[in-house]
């Protein structure tokens, strides 16, 4: 367990000491800006498949290892950047290193790609003049795909081949996943995973502060997947034959929502404790879940996405175009608020 520091400033001091192996004096924080900057804002986007917007085509970097990040050319960082430009705010995007499958630790460690090769640690994109760092991580470190596989027999087979992770306990039937996660072993696993997410996010924020000391840091949460009324999940979306959550038992759907809500709270708290900003998508997407039919902002678990790999690749419960636009809207709004305060 990492020892928690009490304020953002002491965390930045600790991060600097760890990185350099000695105690160094830091410059005083810059004054608060009164208006959005007239000059382009040097910006780095980071994150996992929800920032890369897995499932939306076309994909960037198809001729190299980064193609396996499945980073959409029109992901929410690209759309949000255009929205801001329309409002007179220009981002100088130094890099977008968001990558499908990324754990929080891949912010400071290289990531192995499904197709072979590696991509560098995402922190390598930060520069001393970076003023804005935006993205989202946490779901893969939590092991959300392992939870999905614990609850879905279909995802344990070939239909989940591109989805990282294994079921938490493959000896337990998928239909009993709700009982498993309420039991001693399943509950202990979840508690440990949440502690890991919190600790890794703390380290990520400290590293951001060290490598880009003047940057505003933004953590973007995840959109809501399961609605409050889970009976909506018993009807396939228009034009679809699979249910939104395929064969996951109806009694397990509230469990998925509870896990996601708890993750949202951990991310929000960790960001606040370290003086970073948080974009709470969960609280704004309750009417655009995977079970909201034509209004869904999330592609169904086994619904065909826009990607093909010899055959169509499922969305695996990632934002579709509508969901991507909702992400972009809220991220752009947060960035504008930050740059105008």
140 is catalytic: yes
Give the separation between CA 28 and CA 331, rounded to whole angstroms: 28
Give the separation between CA 17 and CA 10, rounded to whole angstroms: 10
> How many residues are given for the chain?
341
Of 139, 146, 152, 318, catalytic = 318
Of 53, 60, 98, 140, catalytic = 140
Give the separation between CA 35 and CA 105, rounded to whole angstroms: 34
Q: Each residue of 127-165: b (16+ CB within 10 Å) or e?
A: eeebbbbbbbbbbbbbbbbbbbbbbbbbbbeebbebbbb
* Alpha helices, H only, 212-320: 253-273
- Structural contact between residues 322 and 74, judged by C-beta atoms closer than 8 angstroms: no
Q: What share of the chain is helix, strand, coil (3-state, %, to 5)?
A: 45, 10, 45
- Structural contact between residues 27 and 75, judged by C-beta atoms closer than 8 angstroms: no
Q: Looking up tokens 């830091």, which residue turns up?
A: 26
Tell me the longest C-alpha to C-alpha distance in the chain. 61
- Structural contact between residues 270 and 258, judged by C-beta atoms closer than 8 angstroms: no
Question: How far lies 255's CA from each of 172, 213, 317, in Å?
Answer: 16, 39, 16
318 is catalytic: yes
Give the separation between CA 327 and CA 320, rounded to whole angstroms: 10
Return the DSSP state at 302. T
106 is catalytic: no
Give the separation between CA 24 and CA 20, rounded to whole angstroms: 8
Of 47, 100, 101, 139, catalytic = 101
Active site residues: 49, 101, 140, 318
């Amino acid at each position: 367990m990492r020892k928690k520091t009490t304020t953002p400033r002491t965390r930045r001091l600790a991060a600097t000491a760890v990185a350099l192996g000695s105690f160094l004096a830091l410059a005083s924080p810059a004054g608060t800006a009164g208006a959005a900057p007239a000059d382009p804002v040097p910006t780095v986007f980071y994150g996992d498949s929800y920032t890369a917007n897995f499932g939306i085509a076309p994909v960037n970097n198809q001729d190299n290892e980064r193609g396996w990040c499945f980073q959409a050319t029109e992901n929410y960082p690209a759309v949000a950047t255009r929205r801001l430009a329309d409002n007179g705010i220009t981002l100088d995007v130094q890099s977008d290193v968001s990558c499908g499958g990324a754990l929080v630790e891949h912010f400071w460690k290289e990531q192995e790609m499904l197709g072979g090769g590696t991509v560098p640690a995402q922190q390598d994109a930060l520069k001393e003049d970076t003023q804005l760092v935006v993205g989202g991580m946490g779901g893969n470190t939590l092991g959300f795909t392992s939870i999905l596989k614990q609850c879905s027999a279909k995802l344990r087979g070939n239909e989940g081949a591109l989805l990282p992770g294994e079921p938490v306990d493959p000896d337990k039937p998928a239909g009993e996943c709700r009982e498993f996660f309420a039991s001693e072993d399943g509950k202990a696993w979840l508690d440990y995973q949440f502690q890991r997410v919190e600790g890794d996010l703390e380290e990520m924020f400290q590293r951001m502060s060290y490598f880009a000391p003047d940057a505003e840091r933004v953590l973007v949460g995840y959109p809501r997947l399961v609605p409050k009324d889970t009976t909506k999940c018993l009807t396939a979306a228009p034009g679809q034959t699979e249910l939104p959550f395929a064969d996951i038992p109806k009694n397990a759907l509230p469990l998925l929502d509870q896990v996601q809500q708890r993750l949202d709270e951990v991310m929000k708290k960790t960001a606040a404790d370290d003086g970073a900003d948080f974009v709470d998508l969960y609280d704004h997407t309750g009417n655009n879940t995977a079970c909201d039919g034509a209004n869904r902002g999330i592609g169904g678990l086994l619904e065909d996405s826009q990607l093909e790999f010899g055959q169509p690749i499922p969305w695996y419960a990632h934002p579709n175009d509508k969901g991507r636009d909702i992400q972009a809207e809220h991220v752009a709004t947060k960035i504008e608020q930050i740059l105008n305060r």
